[in-house]
Amino acid sequence: MKNFVFYNPTKIVFGKDQTTNIGRYVYGTKCLLLYGKASIKQNGIYDKVVESLRKNTVGFVEKGGVQSNPVLGFVHEAIDLARAEKVDSILAVGGGSVIDTAKAIACGYYYEGDVWDFFTDKAAPGDALPLYVVLTLAATASEMNSGAVITNEKTKQKFNINAESLSPKVSILDPVNTFTVSKHYTAYGCVDAMVHLLEGYFTQDDPATPLQDGFVETLVRTLKDSTLAIMKQSDDYQARADFMWAATLALNGITTAGTGKHGFPNHMIGHSLSALYDLPHGASLSIVFPAWLNHYVRDKADKLAQFGNAIFGTSDPQKTIEALKQFFNIIGAPTHLSQVNIASSDIKKIAENAVMLAKKWGLHQYTEPVIEEVLNAGA
Ligand code: NZQ
Ligand code: ZN
């Protein structure tokens, strides 16, 4: 077990009908109520949230329209609105895109320069508005971590920030809110949470971490089983609840505590697919991750055998990769660039984009030729 510091300040309020309590938790007199395009007005979550805010005399100004793969231009607009309205907190009602946008607004609010400076490491986020969350899509764990990912639509960079001040104060996890998430986004959420777990599992530098490996394997199994159940019945409460909590635990710092250094190379490459083609995050990972495993199959043979035994009942590394791909395809996640209409002749362009993030993340072994090799291993 390697040394570690684990700190996670987010209060989780989990369970059926907890959405109606959000107004009790939001601090301050006027919040920025932030949401996505249309879903929360269609499924009734907006009405529940607004009623709870009114009941608890929390004022609000609202801004809808956050797009999936959220963009910098929207963040700028929302910072202007938040300042003009003098809000004292942000309430994000949505999935990772809404929460990440809220985090960027929260720290940009107090910064005189361009908030993008935080993403390019020209400046570090300091103070931030307090953030509250009603989660409507389980996938990213943004509801219980300190990171955010935004795309600069002009430079085609999908970059992240990370700061303790960005952790939500309170996140409501009401599985009922996710009953209306489509099969596609349920599949993408499953892939995303699994890859969060497996990036660490396959790249960590401590070879002996039975406790953490056990966490990861249990969470992956839970995600797999609950996703298959949700595909049969969208309002299966038990399955939605298991899925939701597993996705949160997959990237809240718990599973990598004690595992030492680890990287996110699949996210590094996946972010370029989203930046260049607006591909949903989970779909980018279901393409990149099996390719990455193929590329490193010899290096990772022992861990692949362990993973295969735990999840798919095989200790053959190649069969394990095939079983994972098959699972992704069964739930409706793509595993090949051609399935999302990206030509393999674009691989060079993707690698040129991805290497910018490799540099930011210190993944120096991922040069352009290496990234091309990884993507070609999925061809
Ligand atoms: O915009 P609306 O109409 O609300 O529709 C959304 C959106 O189209 C819809 N949706 C959300 N809740 C729903 C629902 N539809 C029906 N019923 C509901 N209850 O789902 C679509 C996708 O939403 P989005 O928020 O984009 O999905 P997700 O939660 O997967 O977030 C993806 C973003 O998070 C980033 C990704 O890169 C991507 O930009 N990530 C954030 C991380 C973090 N902060 O820690 C880590 C991740 O690795 C990831 O990078
Ligand atoms: Zn992810």
Q: Tell whether 335 and 196 lie within a shared domain.
A: yes
- Which tens digit of pLDDT belongs to each residue from 40-95? 999 999 999 999 999 999 999 999 999 999 999 999 999 999 999 999 999 999 99
Q: Tell whether 336 and 248 lie within a shared domain.
A: yes
**Cβ < 6 A, ligand 1 pocket:** 36-40, 43, 68-70, 94-98, 100, 136-137, 139-142, 145, 147-149, 177-178, 180-181, 185, 188-189, 192, 251, 267, 281
pTM above 0.95, yes or no: yes
Q: Tell whether 188 and 299 lie within a shared domain.
A: yes
Q: pLDDT band for position 202 (50/70/90)?
A: very high
- Which tens digit of pLDDT belongs to each residue from 111-143? 999 999 999 999 999 999 999 999 999 999 999
Q: Tell whether 172 and 52 lie within a shared domain.
A: yes
Span from the CA of 77 to the centroid of ligand 2 (angstroms): 25
For residue 2, tell me if it sits in a domain.
no
Span from the CA of 55 to the centroid of ligand 1 (angstroms): 28
For residue 3, tell me if it sits in a domain.
no
Q: Tell whether 188 and 97 lie within a shared domain.
A: no
Closest CA to 143 of 192, 94, 78, 107: 94
Q: pLDDT band for position 282 (50/70/90)?
A: very high
Q: Tell whether 291 and 162 lie within a shared domain.
A: no
Calculate what percentage of the chain has a pLDDT beyond 90. 99
Q: Residue 314 is part of a domain; what is its CATH number?
A: 1.20.1090.10
Q: Tell whether 219 and 367 lie within a shared domain.
A: yes
For residue 343, tell me if it sits in a domain.
yes
For residue 262, tell me if it sits in a domain.
yes
Q: Tell whether 166 and 259 lie within a shared domain.
A: no
Instruction: Give the residue whose CA is nearest to atom 50 of ligand 1.
Output: 149
For residue 4, tell me if it sits in a domain.
no
Whose structure tokens read 């250094």?
261
User: How confident is the model at residue 207, as a pLDDT?
Assistant: 87
Q: Residue 19 is part of a domain; what is its CATH number?
A: 3.40.50.1970
- Which tens digit of pLDDT belongs to each residue from 298-337? 999 999 999 999 999 999 999 999 999 999 999 999 999 9
Q: Tell whether 119 and 220 lie within a shared domain.
A: no
Look up the domain containing 265 and give its range.
183-376
Per-residue burial over 65-93, b = 16 or more CB atoms within 10 Å of its CB, e = otherwise: ebebbbbbebbbebbebbeeeebbbbbbb
Q: Tell whether 208 and 128 lie within a shared domain.
A: no
Is the pLDDT at 379 greater than 90? The verdict is no
Written as six digits, the tokens of 251 are: 């990237």
Mutate to test the pocket of ligand 1, among 131, 142, 223 (most ligand atoms within 8 A of CB): 142
The tally of domains found in the chain comes to: 2
